[in-house]
């Protein structure tokens, strides 16, 4: 794709009669950049630069879009997200609303869709216009309305979108994360579908930067704040006309069956009052029971007194009750259990633990009856169906919830251990009978897919008073949160853990919970960090536990590092070191020596810093721990650089880069190569620096670190100009 883009750019430049120098003058893009792209020696320019080139070449709007599309996605190494759920089959009507949405293609528009069938309309329109958004389509169910009343927080949605758009490190701070989100979306042609929004405040942080994206918001409310403050267009969605409702039934049931009972079809349409979900459920029921006359269905529907649209939930309850009566007893019970299961959706594996019977057959029955929808191996209930099902009198709910919470806990613990093998795992009670934990083959992918369900499982445990499960679920998420820099989620889970440990009156768990909560608070720059860590320290002293005292002082080192107070940081690093040595914890002792060295270097005590780092280096080598050795050698590169010893700094950065590569940490290897290149430039070795920067940028893109790759490429461009 990169070669194809280079050829396309050369062809268009020649057609326009421009030299590379003339194109550079017109576009403002450096000659070296244009030359590098055309010869394949460098990555394609960013989307904004491609647009400048397209305009400088005198391309018409359609050609400009084609050139931008050619440079996006695969051509630039950036993934193109395709997150939209499938458009509903048999979608009928809504021609006026679809046309109204189409008028706003290519601009920043927020359409607040009210009424029924809003998600179906949004997805149908999106599927018909997907070609207009070459940079991708993003989707999130904001869960603004539903039985759990736990809407998606904007931070969670931003994090998911940024990850889909290739951002590897998402800031924890709200302002920094929002600024990054707007920057990443500013020049892209994206479609964002923000489904089931609760209020304007939930949507505003998700509005992209620039004017090249289209945003469709669905909500039961008109969201007048979006209309007044952001120029959003309101598309009120009424019920289906009788003609469209009839067409829907014909498409679902076939013309022969609908024409055979015209009076019954007319009665069904009348009692459904144009509600698409009601029509779809009835059609599904009729499809799986061809032996039941439509007249009988119409009679049952009339007897159930389907309400008008004044209250969606009341009007649908009768239809849903009728639909649930058509299910087998086992499927109906599973539907009632799914309604209260943690998370917005559930995997088939988790459903096996939730269900008293083998779940896959029952899930297929629920899918056929339109009670759940399926995406891959995950199942989701529509909010209104879930609300109704949650009200059913289903036996064994507490036991089922206990099984599924145990499923998440017992599946997650081995994954957590694989992330941090040097940390002794906690001991769990045996899982509840009927719980079937997974044996993970890809822990990272599983945690990525189940993170929301894991945090919701912790909430369910907290609501149920299962205090031990609460803190243990925080523990199994601990390393994952650090790996993903999800300090907001870390803060939430360990806040719950503190409450649970308090209820248990368990000093050891309280010590651990306050310590990790304090660490997360410090990384979020929250002043409460010191209060939490003071409590952790008091509990550690009560326990007279050298390890916990060491951990707490190590966390205080982190907090002071975040405050750029390296004098206090080194003081607490030294205290942590003392306690780790007392506990005989050589792994943590090695880490503490490294921290002492790093912070001494930051306050200019370079000789002492190197002595501490050399101690850490000897210990890491004795342990055969390549990761700790690589971190220590890299830290020594920073120390030598601070002392102005460029040759020694270069030597250690070279060694650190080699160690990270040997250990298989491509993520860190790219970072150290970029740092090495920075120092080489200071030493006058620009050609070698350029080669390292190019290699680092390629690796960063391979690891989806597109922001950092762009920064490195900017340094390349500056030194090539």
Whether 183 and 54 map to the same domain: the answer is no
* One domain, residues 231 and 278: no
Tokens (6 digits) for 371: 């009670």
Domain shared by 101 and 229, yes or no: yes
Mean pLDDT computed over 600-606: 94
Average of per-residue pLDDT across 390-407: 94
Same domain (yes/no): 125, 219: yes
Would residue 628 count as lying in a domain? no
Sequential DSSP letters for 205-239? GGPPSSSS-EEEEEESS--HHHHHHH-PEEEE--P
Give the CATH number, domain containing residue 687: 1.25.40
Check whether residue 127 and residue 221 sit in a common domain. yes
Q: What does the pLDDT read at residue 310?
A: 34
**284 and 382 housed in the same domain:** no
The mean pLDDT value for 194-199 works out to 87
Q: Please indicate, yes or no, if residue 122 is contained in any of the structural domains.
A: yes
**Chosen domain end from 354, 375, 395:** 395
From 156-170, 241-255, 266-280, 704-718, the region with the lowest mean pLDDT: 266-280
Beta strands in 287-411 (DSSP E): 346-347, 373-375, 378-380
> Is residue 69, in this structure, part of any structural domain at all?
yes
The domain that contains 32 carries what CATH number? 1.10.260.40
How many domains is the chain partitioned into structurally? 5
497 within domain boundaries: no
Residues 120, 91 contacting (CB under 8 angstroms): yes
Phi and psi based region of residue 342 (left: phi greater than 0; alpha: psi -120 to 50; beta: remaining)? beta
pLDDT of residue 48: 63
User: Does residue 318 sit in the same domain as residue 335?
Assistant: no
Residues 114 and 136 placed together within one structural domain of the fold = yes
Within a domain: 88 = no
Bridge-based pairing of strands 137-141 and 191-197 is: parallel
pLDDT for the residue numbered 704: 66
Residue 307 within any structural domain of the chain: yes
Let me know if residue 566 belongs to a domain. no
Residue range 617-651, pLDDT digits in tens = 999 999 888 878 988 999 999 999 999 999 999 99
Residue 569 pLDDT more than 80? yes
Pair (123, 190) in one structural domain: yes
* CATH number where 376 lies: 1.10.10.10
Task: Tell me the C-alpha distance between 215 and 235, whole Å.
Answer: 13
Q: Residue 387 sits in which domain range?
A: 329-395
pLDDT single digits (tens) 502-523: 999 999 999 999 999 999 999 8
The pLDDT assigned to 317 comes to 66
pLDDT tens digits, 658-670: 998 886 667 688 8
Decide which of 297, 325, 353 is a domain's last residue.
Answer: 325
Do 228 and 348 have their domain in common?
no
pLDDT digits (tens, 9 = 90+) for 58-108: 877 656 655 655 554 333 455 689 999 888 877 888 888 888 888 765 433
Give the CATH number for residue 102: 3.40.50.300
Candidate from 125-134, 222-231, 362-371, 666-675 with smallest mean pLDDT: 222-231
Q: Token digits for 690?
A: 């350029």
CB environment 673-690: b (16+ within 10 A), e (fewer): bbbbbbbbbeeebeeebb
Q: Which helix (H) or strand (E) holds 52?
A: helix 47-56
Q: Which of 277, 301, 325 is the last residue of a domain?
A: 325
State whether 101 and 191 are in the same domain.
yes
Structure tokens at 308: 């008008």
The percentage of residues in the chain with a pLDDT greater than 90, rounded to a whole number, is 48
Instruction: Tell me what the mean pLDDT of segment 206-234 comes to.
Output: 82
Once rounded to an integer, what is the mean pLDDT over residues 193-199?
88
**Phi/psi zone of residue 146: left (φ > 0), alpha (ψ -120 to 50 degrees), beta?**
left
Mean pLDDT value of segment 442-459 = 95
Q: Which residue has the higher pLDDT, 237 or 401?
A: 401
Give residue 306's pLDDT: 41
pLDDT above 70 as % of the chain:
89
Q: State the pLDDT at residue 311.
A: 41
Sign of CA pseudo-dihedral 674, 676, 677, 682: positive
> How far, in Å, CA of 332 to CA of 661, rounded?
54
pLDDT for 105 equals 55
Q: Is residue 507 part of a domain?
A: no
* pLDDT band for position 556 (cuts 50, 70, 90): very high
Of 357-371, 472-486, 660-674, the range with the lowest mean pLDDT is 660-674
pLDDT in tens, 650-707: 999 999 999 988 866 676 888 899 999 999 999 999 999 999 999 999 988 876 678 8
Mean pLDDT of the chain: 85
φ, ψ for residue 442, nearest 5 deg:
-140, 90
Co-location of 215 and 272 in the same domain:
no
């Amino acid at each position: 794709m990169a070669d194809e883009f280079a050829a396309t750019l050369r062809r268009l430049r020649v057609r326009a009669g421009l030299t590379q120098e003339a194109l550079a003058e017109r576009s403002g893009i450096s000659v070296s950049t244009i030359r590098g792209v055309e010869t394949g020696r460098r990555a394609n320019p960013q989307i904004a630069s491609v647009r400048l080139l397209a305009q400088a070449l005198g391309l018409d709007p359609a050609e400009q879009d084609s050139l931008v599309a050619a440079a996006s996605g695969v051509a630039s190494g950036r993934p193109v997200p395709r997150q939209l759920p499938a458009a509903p089959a048999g979608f009928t009507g809504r021609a006026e609303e679809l046309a109204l949405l189409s008028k706003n293609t290519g601009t920043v528009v927020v359409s607040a869709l009210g009424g029924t069938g809003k998600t179906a309309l949004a997805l149908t329109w999106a599927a018909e216009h997907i070609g207009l958004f070459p940079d991708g389509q993003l989707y999130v169910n904001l869960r603004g309305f539903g039985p759990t009343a736990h809407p998606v927080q904007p931070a969670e949605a931003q994090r998911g979108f940024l990850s889909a758009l290739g951002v590897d490190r998402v800031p924890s701070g709200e302002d920094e994360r929002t600024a990054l989100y707007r920057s990443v979306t500013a020049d892209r042609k994206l479609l964002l579908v923000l489904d089931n929004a609760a209020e304007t405040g939930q949507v505003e942080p998700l509005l992209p930067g620039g004017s090249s994206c289209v945003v469709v918001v669905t909500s039961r409310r008109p969201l007048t704040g979006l209309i007044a403050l952001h120029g959003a267009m309101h598309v009120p969605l009424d019920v289906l006309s009788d003609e469209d409702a009839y067409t829907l039934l014909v498409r679902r049931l076939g013309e022969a069956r609908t024409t055979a009972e015209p009076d019954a079809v007319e009665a069904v349409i009348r009692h459904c009052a144009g509600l698409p979900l009601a029509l779809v459920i009835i059609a599904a029921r009729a499809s799986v029971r061809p032996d039941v006359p439509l007249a009988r269905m119409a009679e049952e529907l009339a007897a159930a007194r389907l309400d008008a649209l004044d209250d969606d939930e009341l009007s649908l309850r009768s239809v849903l009750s009728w639909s649930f009566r058509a299910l087998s007893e086992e499927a109906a019970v599973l539907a009632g259990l799914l309604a209260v299961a943690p998370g917005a959706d559930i995997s088939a594996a988790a459903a096996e633990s939730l269900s008293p019977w083998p779940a896959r057959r029952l899930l297929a029955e629920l899918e056929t009856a339109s009670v759940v929808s399926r995406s891959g191996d995950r199942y989701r209930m529509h909010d209104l169906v879930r609300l109704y099902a949650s009200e059913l009198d289903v036996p064994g709910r507490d036991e089922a919830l206990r099984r599924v919470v145990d499923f998440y806990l017992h599946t997650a613990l081995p994954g957590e251990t694989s992330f941090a093998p040097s940390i002794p795992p906690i001991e769990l009670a045996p899982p509840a009978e009927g719980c079937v934990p997974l044996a993970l083959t890809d822990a990272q992918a599983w945690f990525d897919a189940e993170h929301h369900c894991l945090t919701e499982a912790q909430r369910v445990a907290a609501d149920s008073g299962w205090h031990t499960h609460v803190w243990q679920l925080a523990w199994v998420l601990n390393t994952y949160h650090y790996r993903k820099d999800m300090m907001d989620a870390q803060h939430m889970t360990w806040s719950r853990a503190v409450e649970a440990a308090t209820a248990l009156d368990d000093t050891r768990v309280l010590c651990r919970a306050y310590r990790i909560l304090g660490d997360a608070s410090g990384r979020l720059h929250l002043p409460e960090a010191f209060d939490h860590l003071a409590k952790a320290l008091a509990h550690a002293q009560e326990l007279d536990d050298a390890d916990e005292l060491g951990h707490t002082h190590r966390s205080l080192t982190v907090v002071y590092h975040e405050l750029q107070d390296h004098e206090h940081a080194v003081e607490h690093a030294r205290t942590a070191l003392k306690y780790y040595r007392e506990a005989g914890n050589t792994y943590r002792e090695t880490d503490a020596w490294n921290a002492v060295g790093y912070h001494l270097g930051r306050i200019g005590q370079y000789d002492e810093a190197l002595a501490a780092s050399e101690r850490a280096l000897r210990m890491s080598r004795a342990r055969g721990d390549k990761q700790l050795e690589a971190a220590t050698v890299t830290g020594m590169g920073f120390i030598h650089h601070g002392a102005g010893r460029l040759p020694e700094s270069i030597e250690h950065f070279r060694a650190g880069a080699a160690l990270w590569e040997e250990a298989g940490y491509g993520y860190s290897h790219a970072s150290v190569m970029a740092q090495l290149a920075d120092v080489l430039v200071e030493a006058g070795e620009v050609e070698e620096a350029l080669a390292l920067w190019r290699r680092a940028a390629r690796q960063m893109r391979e690891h989806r670190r597109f922001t950092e790759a762009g920064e490195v490429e900017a340094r390349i461009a500056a030194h090539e100009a």
